Amino acid sequence: MTAPNAPEGPRPQHGPLPLPADATTEWAAPAERPNRSREIQRALLVGTALVVGSALAGLLFGVLWHALAPRVPLYSDGSAVYLRDPEGEQQIAADATFVIIGACFGVVTAALAFWFTHKRGGAGLAVPIGLTLGGLAAGWVAWQLGIHMGTQDIVKAAQAVPKGVTFSRPLQLGAKTALVGWPMAALLTLLAATAFFTKEELPATPSQGAPAGE
C-alpha cells in the first residue's frame, strides 16, 4: 500500500552534483595566471647575465684603454725622476679616454639588453640594476687590467733608458669617478630606448551612448 499523494517515479539520489560549464571555466582561470616564481627566476637570470657579460667585456675595455690612452712623459737625471711637461694634460686625457670608451660600451650593452628583453616582454628592474652593477664591474676590470699590462715600477723604467731620455709613466686612472661612465651611459640609453620604442597602452574609453536601435 502506497502513501497518499506520494510522487511517482524514481526517488532522487543524494550525491555530488555536476558543475555547470561556467563554473568549470571559472575554477580553471586561476591556473592560467603567470607563475610569479618563473618571473623572478627570469629577472635573476637577466640581471646575472648582464653583470657577467659586462665584466667580461671589461677585459676588452681595459685592452683598448691601455692601447689608446696618452702617457705622462718623464725623464731622469740619474738621481730623481721628473715630469717632462709639468703643465701637460696627458693624465686628464687618459681619464677622458677611459670615460669615452666606457660610455661607448655602456650604450652598446644597454641597447642590446633593451632589444633582447623588450621582445620578450621586458624584465622589470633586472635590466637597470644589471646594467649598473655590470658597468661598475666592467670599469673595475678595465682599470685593473689597463694599469697592470705595463710596468709599474718607475725606478726600473728610468734605469732602462739613458739619462735625460723621455720615457712614459705607468698608466694610471687619476679620477676614480671615471668608473661611472659605463653605467651612466647605459642607464641613459635604456631610458631613451624605453621612452622612444615603448608604446603606451591607453585605457579603453567607454562608448558615448548606445547605438540606435538597441
Residue-wise pLDDT tens digits, 183-196: 999 999 999 998 88
Output the pLDDT for position 12: 53
C-alpha torsion sign, points 167, 173, 175, 181: positive
Please enumerate in sequence order all residues whose Cβ is within 8 A of that of 163, keeping only pairs 6 or more positions apart, or say none.
Answer: 76, 77, 78
pLDDT at 15: 55
Q: How far apart are CA 95 and CA 175, in angstroms?
A: 7
Whole-number pLDDT of residue 7: 53
Q: Give the pLDDT of residue 79.
A: 77
Alpha-carbon distance of 28 to 122, in angstroms, equals 27
| CA-based end-to-end distance of the chain | 60
CA-nearest of 92, 119, 113 to 182 is 113
What integer pLDDT is reported at residue 32 of this predicted model?
Answer: 43
Phi/psi at 83 (5° precision)? -75, 130
Can you give the pLDDT at residue 201? 45
Q: Quick one: pLDDT at residue 214?
A: 47
- Give the pLDDT score at 146: 93
Q: pLDDT at position 13, please?
A: 55
Q: Is the pTM of this model over 0.75?
A: no
pLDDT at 11: 57
| Residue 59: per-residue pLDDT | 97
Within 10 angstroms of residue 174's Cβ, the number of other Cβ atoms is 12
Beta carbons within 8 Å of 178's beta carbon, 6+ residues apart: 95, 98, 99, 102, 139
The pLDDT, as a whole number, for residue 3 is: 52
**Separation between Cα atoms, residue 180 and residue 105, nearest integer Å:** 12
Profile the chain (214 residues) by mean pLDDT over runs of 10 residues: 53 55 47 66 88 96 95 82 81 95 96 84 81 96 92 76 80 93 96 81 48 49
